[in-house]
Amino acid sequence: MSQTKTKCLIIGSGPAGYTAALYTSRANLEPVLYEGHQPGGQLTITTEVENFPGYPDGTTGTQLMEDIRRQAIRFGADVRSGLITKVDFSKRPFIVTDDSGNEIEAETVIISTGATARFLGLPDEEKYMGMGVSACATCDGFFYRKKRVAVVGGGDTACEEALYLSNIAQDVFLIVRKDYLRASKVMQRRVLEKPNIKVLFNTQTQGLYGDEFLQGAHLVENIGTTKEQHFDLELDGFFLAIGHTPNTSLFKGVIDLDEQGYIVTKGQSTATNIEGVFAAGDVADPNYRQAITAAGSGCKAALDAERFLTSLE
């Protein structure tokens, strides 16, 4: 058990955390960053990344995160493996404890713990992740140009993903568990009027199949009724659009969260309701969830932390 003092503690990695570490280290704040249970964040389970500026030929999610990580370390960031298990934001400097019992005394904290895509719970989802299964149409839709894809979900997010993909893919199937869409009326109308989107109501996914890559889904219609019917749907891509869960359980009752559990920030800044605590990336962003926007907010959080410390001086 040890104790560390730092001007800035960053909880979580990914594009937001690593970028915050890069900026705070260059500002001589000597940041300490804990990478969490998934070093590099969700991008590490993404194969190709073609929409991050500076990579004209594309790169892998793992390589992109490693590049930003090395850049932060080059300027002096103390990047550590492990989890933060306890936070005390009742007074400054803040006291934070990791999963080995080590304490970190921090003048400022940047939270970049991200959000986790919700899955159906099928064992095949993990098997084909990055090989046909995705939780982000904006990120991966380009790879399915003129192909057959399915989107699972019935809310606004699912309809938005289906509409986005309909401009890229040849055929889009919207798999809806109920006999209606939960999306807003305008989104419903747009989906139903789109010629290459077919809505499969009362339909559930029971499994996925394929050799190395996804080739289709095992579906069941009207399950538990006399009209129950099992069938296979050939697909090149399978997109999950049933929501994300922000990784904020550690901060419940400690800082302000919205109804969905995302950290609430003030105005255009990354500041939370506690002075000296900032939030960056998907943990405070239910709307965009892109690597570039997460990296941008990591930069903002670093600048906000630096300016906060300067104002104290």
Q: What is the pLDDT of residues 209-258, one digit of tens each?
A: 999 999 999 999 999 999 999 999 999 999 999 888 999 999 999 999 99
Q: pLDDT-based confidence at 117, cuts 50/70/90?
A: confident
Active site (annotated) includes residue 139: yes
Active site residue 140: yes
In percent, how much of the chain has pLDDT > 90? 81
Find the catalytic residue in 8, 124, 139, 299.
139
Is the separation of the CB atoms in 69 and 34 below 8 Å?
Answer: no
Q: What is d(CA 158, CA 241) in angstroms, rounded to the nearest whole number?
A: 5
Phi (first) and psi of residue 270, to 5 degrees: -105, 10
Range in 184-188, 255-259, 271-275 with the lowest mean pLDDT: 184-188
Q: Is 299 a catalytic residue?
A: no
> Residue range 48-68: average pLDDT?
90
Cβ(297)–Cβ(284) below 8 Å: yes
Determine which one of 8, 98, 124, 136 is catalytic.
136
Options 124, 140, 282, 285, the catalytic residue: 140
Query: Which DSSP string corresponds to 294-307?
Result: HHHHHHHHHHHHHH
Segment 82-106, tens digit of pLDDT: 999 999 999 999 999 999 999 999 9
Tell me the pTM. 0.79
Identify whether the C-beta of residue 100 lies closer than 8 Å to the C-beta of residue 82.
Answer: yes
